[in-house]
Structure 1
Amino acid sequence: MRRSWFKLTACLAAGLYLAPAANSMQWQRPTVSPLASLLAQNPLAAARGNPEEVVVAALTAIRQNRLDEAGRLVDGLLEAKPNYRLAHLLKGDLLMARSQPLAGIGSAPVVDDKLDDLRAEASARLLRYQAPPPAQQAIPANLLQFAPDQQYAVLVDAGRARIYLYRNDNGTPRYVRDFYATIGKLGFDKAREGDQRTPLGVYFVTGHMPREQLDQRYGKRAELYGVGAWPLSYPNDWDRRQGRTGSGIWLHGVPYDTYSRAPKASNGCVAMSNSDISALSPYLLPGTPVIIAGEVEWLTPSAWQARRDGALAQVEAWRRDWESLNTPRYLSHYASDFKSGNADLNTWRAQKQAVNAGKQWAKVKLTDLSLFGYPSAQGDLLQASFMQDYQSSNLNNQMRKRLYMRQEAGRWRISLEGSAG
């Protein structure tokens, strides 16, 4: 499913105005929202409700040479969002189209030194509607298990300039809505401080910085963040394990003098229009998972269930074997590159053999378990977080724990183990 969608979006990106009009379904008119009926009747009302849908409808109308209709849509968009630079670009194209054919977006002599950025934004927004991902029919592979207190999760598809909001329906992710987003100028997979890339991984909202607080702390620089910022927990333990550096990765708004930014325009944060991040903000509570992926893998419900069950079974097997005091079987769950603090696998093995030799019994209980497929350019990973209640004949301990697991010899094995903080 992921590959077929990727091929379709790649084909659609080739031309926004230029594909032959006879190419039917690729250029069908968007009908994905209750606002669709407003597009022709009241463009201003539609633009206030969903500016993105209006710009997509205008692009489609220009493509199909319905210039009067496109003009009404763009005028409504500019009245509702006068700082929307892409709408100004389309207005210029419409004026030029009355005297000569358009060669592509930005053909008119519009004064803007970032035409490529605006074309990229137009392409990203149009692809969302003309080749929509199967968000309501399939489930992202990254969202395998919510903890009971995780009511929502945010999934960033960095390669498609898109953010998805999912809610926890008794452990099953349910699509709520999605938004256009901006990532780092040089793309994703952040490695070091200042590389202008957005990190890949599983992070958590750590707080909220409203504009007033940003103004006090950063002065004029706060203009970059618009209505506010929501810091994320980058770098996490896995990032530090990989030697990644940097900090200050946030979800945030955009300057008030612009409606939105290009798909790649930040210094590494994820940015959204001020209206969109304001709509998302009620769900960005401390502890909300934010998964940033380079590409989303979409699974059918049955395939998702199978992957979820397999991952849960691996965590349960680790718990059961630890509880059994069968040290060799317990240690078989650890990867060859395992680390926990300063301990490698050999040190861990010696410690566990010594500890278990002095115990008569042990009980291990895991609660509040979450499981997320961890995006990584180095291969498939799994992050498991839970509350661990350990009791034994000579020690009782409770802690929040986090495991990072990777595929080794055909099964999930623990590569990193530590406190979840």
Structure 2
Amino acid sequence: MKQISIFLLVSIMLLQAPIAVANDSASAMPTIHRMPAYLLEIPEAVKSILIAETETATMHRFASDDGDVLEVDQRYMSIGLNGPGKEKAWDKRTPLGIYFITESLDTSKLHAKYGAAAFPLDYPNAWDRFNQRTGYGIWLHGVDPDNPNRPARDTDGCLALPNEEIVKLAGELKPLLTPVIVAREIDWVAPSNVKELRQEFRAMLDMWRESLEQGDIAKYLSLYSADSHHFGMGREEWLSSTRESFDNKRFESVILEDVMLVAHPEEPDLYLSRFTQVLASIEGLPKITTKRLYWQRSDADQWKILIDDVG
């Protein structure tokens, strides 16, 4: 009788297990079957993607493998003393958004608090400036070897990793190429969930490229929001410059290389396309520019460019 009871108990547990998994959230998916919702398209040139999750004090590293995004490892980190959500200089908060490493610094010439390695980020970026956020000097760096055990909230706004961990990462971090996405909490989804959105986003970027290549200024301008920003010039100045460029078109083709498509981790329906634009000139050498376009997607699936920036 006891054996029968045990058999029945095990059978019930086995029957219930698939139901529990089916009803679970994406955050509890096995790692191989989940990915961050932000990473829509990653170019082959980008070998590592960092996502700093402030709620769990965790730095996640991902790699792109033949179109799939896989988590490689994760490590403890410290963020700003006053938490995430930087708005102004000296608020001791860590900014949230999509950033890129700009350079690798020789920490032997810096204060000991920066530890074994330091990599400045491009805060404030175009979206931060659009929102009038101020401040500077947000880095990914190590820790003071004489005071290595830092609490989760401890920096002036930077992301700080244990020295042994940032040394392990150093070879993977490429200036002007490696993205560092800072989110409160990672939104995990199944890879199939991003496919349709990626295709939709890529179609809009292709439309932008084609309108530029074909000299179709009406279609080109229709992709920009009525209040779009173009840093370095006002909107009327930008419109005048754009019309002049289309009237005096001096290139044969437009090629977009190393295209990265990313969703903003904190702003719903805000997306970034970053790529190398190659204008094949009819007169000589091609003109090569690294561009960033920030797009807003409406409820009606309408995409408009809010910010046109370089870098």
Instruction: Please state which band the TM-score falls in when normalised by the shorter chain.
Output: 0.7 to 0.9
Q: CA deviation at 1:135?
A: 4.0
Q: TM-score of the superposition, structure 1-length normalised?
A: 0.61
Q: Secondary structure at the match of 1:311?
A: helix
Deviation at 1:261, TM superposition (A): 2.0
The answer to which of 310-319 and 401-410 deviates more is: 401-410
The alignment's TM-score, normalised by the length of structure 2, stands at: 0.80
Match of 2:123 in 1: 234
Greater RCO, 1 or 2 (C-alpha within 8 Å, sep 6+): 2
Tell me, in whole angstroms, the C-alpha distance in 1 between the residues paired with 2:287 and 2:149: 49
Choose 1 or 2 for highest CA Rg: 1
How far the C-alpha of 1:365 sits from its partner, in A, is 1.5
State the partner residue of 1:418: 309
Q: Please tell me the residue identity of whatever aligns with 2:275.
A: F
| 1:283 alignment partner in structure 2 | 172
| Partner-residue secondary structure (3-state), 1:136 | helix
Q: Is the alpha carbon distance of 1:303 and 1:158 closer, same or farther for their aligned partners in structure 2, counting shifts above 3 Å?
A: same
Aligned counterpart, 1:243 = 132
Larger helix percent = 1
Check if 1:202 corresponds to 2:98: yes
> Once the 2 structures are TM-superposed, how far is the Cα of residue 380 of structure 1 from its aligned partner?
3.2
Q: Deviations over 1:56-88 (max 9, x none)?
A: xxxxxxxxxxxxxxxxxxxxxxxxxxxxxxxxx
Q: Pick from 182, 189, 197: which aligns with 1:307?
A: 197
Q: Residues 358, 230 of structure 1: CA spacing in aligned structure 2 closer, same or farther, 3 A cutoff?
A: closer
CA distance in 2, matches of 1:324, 1:336: 22
Work out whether residues 386 and 400 of structure 1, in 8 Å CA contact, stay in contact via their aligned partners in 2.
yes
User: CA offsets per residue over residues 190-244 of structure 1, 9 Å max, x none?
Assistant: 1111000001122222233344222xxx3xxx2x233232222222222223222
* Matched-pair contact (CA < 8 Å) for 1:207–1:230: yes
Tell me whether 1:158 sits opposite 2:48 in the alignment: no
Secondary structure in 2 matching 1:199: coil
For residues 30 and 125 of structure 2, what CA distance do their matches in structure 1 show? 30
User: Of the candidates 296, 300, 304, which is equivalent to residue 406 of structure 1?
Assistant: 296
Unaligned ranges ≥5, structure 2: 1-26
Q: Percent identity?
A: 33
What secondary structure sits across from 1:209 in the alignment?
A: coil
Quick one: distance in 2 between partners of 1:315 and 1:203? 20
Pick closer, same or farther for the CA change 1:244–1:135 going to 2, 3 Å. farther
Aligned residue identity for 2:98: V
**Paired amino acid for 2:308:** E
State the 1:270 CA deviation: 0.8
Q: In the alignment, which residue of structure 2 is the partner of 1:108?
A: none
**CA distance 1:353–1:137, shift in 2 (3 Å):** same
Which structure's residues are more often strand, by fraction? Answer: 2
* RMSD over aligned Cα atoms: 2.6
**Count of aligned positions:** 282
Residue matched to 2:114 = 225
Aligned equivalent of 2:4? none
Determine helix, strand or coil for the equivalent of 1:160: coil
- Assess if the C-alpha contact under 8 Å between 2:251 and 2:279 holds in 1: no
How many Å separate the matches in 2 of 1:251 and 1:398?
A: 29
User: Structure 1 unaligned runs (5+)?
Assistant: 1-130
- Aligned equivalent of 2:37: 141
Partners of 2:122 and 2:187 lie apart in 1 by 23
Q: CA deviation at 1:313?
A: 1.3
Q: Residue 203 of structure 1 contacts residue 290 of structure 1 at CA under 8 Å; is this kept in 2?
A: yes
